[in-house]
Structures are given as C-alpha cells and as structure tokens.
Amino acid sequence: MEQILSQEEIDALMSGLSEGEIEFPKEVEAAVEQKIEVQAFDFIKYTKGKKENLPALQFIYDRFSKSLRSALSLFIEKDVELEQSPIQYIEYRDFIKTLPLPTNMNIIATENLKGFFIVIFDAKLIFSVLETVFGSSNVSAPKIEGREFTKIEIGVIKKMVGIVSVEMEKAWTPVYEIKCKYSRSEMNPNYITMVSPEEIVSLCEFSVEIGDITSWIKVCIPYGILETIKGYLISTPSREDMDMREKWLNKLRKRTSDVPLEIKAILGKRKMSLEEFLKVTEDNIIMVDRCVDDQVDVLINDKIKFKGKLGILKGTKAVMIEEAVN
C-alpha cells in the first residue's frame, strides 16, 4: 500500500492548515507555543580551537629541552635542570594574560619556515643568569624591579636568545630544517602586533632550575605557521626514517657530483652588423670590449657564475677564478 502523499494531496493539506479547515494536533500546538532557550554557537571560534595534534612537534621539544639544558649549563658553568611541560593550544590573548609585567619577549625569525617564534624568559631566570655570569658563588632569589633592562642585561639576554636559536635549529633538523635569527625584544606583550588576539598559538613551557631558583622559558608559535608544514609534523620521525633520509641525501649528493657541466670563459665580445661581418677576412683584427688584464666571465651552462683572470698553467691557457657571482 502506498504511504507517500501525491503532490495534489500535499497541496490540499497545506491549504487546509493555512485556512484553518484542518486543526493542529494539541501536541504540535504545545510545542510551537513553548519557548525554547537557545545559545549562540560560534563556528569560527570552534574551528580555530579544534587543532590537530602534531606528534613531531613534541619530538622536537624533547630534543630541544635536552640540548638546551647542556648548553645553558656550559654557558653559566653551573648545573641546570630543565623539565618540559605538555604542549598547549590556546588563544594568544589568553596566553598574554598569564604573563607578568614587565616581561621579556624575544621574536626569532625563521627563514625557511617563513614565520617566527616568540621566546619568553622569566625575569627570575635572567637575573639568576646575570648573577652567576658576573661571579656570584651562590645563586639567590633576585630582586625584580619594574624597570627596563640595562645594556649589560640586554647583552646577556641576546646571548641566551642565541643559545636558544642554535639549539632550536638542531632540534628541528630531523623534521624540517630551519634557520633562526634574532629580530627584537619587547617588555610589553601588547607591543607584539604580528599575532592577532584571537589567533591560536602553540605554547610549550620549560621549567628551569638553577640552584634554589625555579623559573621558566616559554616558546610560542602561531598555529598558522605550523599549518604550512603540517605534513612534516603529523608523524614522529623514527631512527630508521632518519637513517634512510641520510643515506638518500648522500646518494643524491654523489649522483649530483657526476652531472656533466659545460664551462665557458668569455674572453671578450664585439657587436657588429651583418655587413661588417661579411667584410671580415683573414688577418683582420677585431677589437673586443675587454683588455688583456680585465676579468673574464666564466659561464656554467650559459649562466655567469664566476669572474677570473687569464693566465697560463703548466704551459696551458687557463683562467684563475677570483670571485663568485651570486
């Protein structure tokens, strides 16, 4: 038996409901009259907060914490204990609310990654390192004042940023090679406008112990930057993968070295018309645009790569390379 209404029956039913010829069931009327409370749902905020786990990033920070501990211990010539906390993904405005004022935020540009990191040092860590570097035998709780850092203190901070940059490059190498370069420092988080307040950032905190002083280092990376290389970060590189990659790179270098290249040294050039060229005969002298002592262009596959001087080596005409051309 057919249970589906025809189009004519549907039209007749709708007409009857709208004109009042057909009454609504009481259950339907009660549901319509009942006031239902609703809550607005922010799809954009939900999408931004729903971030994919990046196992390789945890692998990078594990390597970073071990190498940074050794590097800091060598720098201040004291034992440093470093402990890593789990990675968090939070909005940038929520992150900066947790920072004390003044604070030390250092922007490190990453050339290969086309972005930047923000490395934040606890003020207690900075003054503890200063106390140790400048000869104090005992590290005590420093007195932190609401003032700007002096030139000497900024110099030590830049040295610490340099150490962090070097160790960060090493930690990233198995996953994705990056180059870190110090950009600038800020004491107020509101002065860093490259990250919008609602943007999600990856935050990793490292607890640092020097003597009896406990402080921290925080590394903040906008999630949008990590998304550009998400393919490298969704799986943790294994030792076998790293060995295989190294073997592949060595083989590629060797095969590349065997590629034949055509090398030319352009001794000089002269432009002439076809009429002039047709008049050239034996024993004619053609003047070129270079003197005998001028540099000559050395071309590799028709592209200028070097400049050099003409000469003779063991009775053979040769060109001595003097500079490379970028």
CB–CB of 140/131 below 8 Å?
yes
Task: Report the alpha-carbon distance of residue 177 to residue 181 in Å, rounded.
Answer: 14
* Type of residue numbered 155: G
Q: How many angstroms separate the first and last alpha carbons of the chain? A: 84
CB–CB of 164/185 below 8 Å?
no
* Type of residue numbered 164: V
Beta bridge partners of 202: 89, 221
Contacts of 5 (CB under 8 A, 6+ apart): 13
Task: Report the alpha-carbon distance of residue 2 to residue 62 in Å, rounded.
Answer: 67
SS3 category, 221: strand
Q: Count of CB atoms within 10 A of residue 105's CB?
A: 21
Whether 36 has a pLDDT exceeding 90, the answer reads no
**Mean of the per-residue pLDDT values of the chain:** 82
Task: Report the alpha-carbon distance of residue 86 to residue 206 in Å, rounded.
Answer: 9
Task: Report the alpha-carbon distance of residue 64 to residue 223 in Å, rounded.
Answer: 19
Radius of gyration of the chain (CA): 35
Task: Report the alpha-carbon distance of residue 63 to residue 84 in Å, rounded.
Answer: 10
Residue 26: φ, ψ to 5°? -60, -35
pLDDT digits (tens, 9 = 90+) for 2-29: 566 777 777 777 777 666 666 656 655 5
Find out whether the peptide bond into 102 is cis, omega within 30 degrees of 0: yes
Of the candidate ranges 17-21, 100-104, 159-163, the one whose mean pLDDT is the lowest: 17-21
Q: At what angle do helices 123-133 and 55-76 cross, to 10 degrees?
A: 30
Q: Count of CB atoms within 10 A of residue 43's CB?
A: 7
Report the DSSP pairing between strands 115-121 and 296-300: unpaired
Whether 139 has a pLDDT exceeding 70, the answer reads no
pLDDT digits (tens, 9 = 90+) for 167-218: 999 999 988 999 999 999 988 888 888 888 899 999 999 999 988 889 999 9
DSSP code string of 175-192: T----EEEEEEESSGGG-
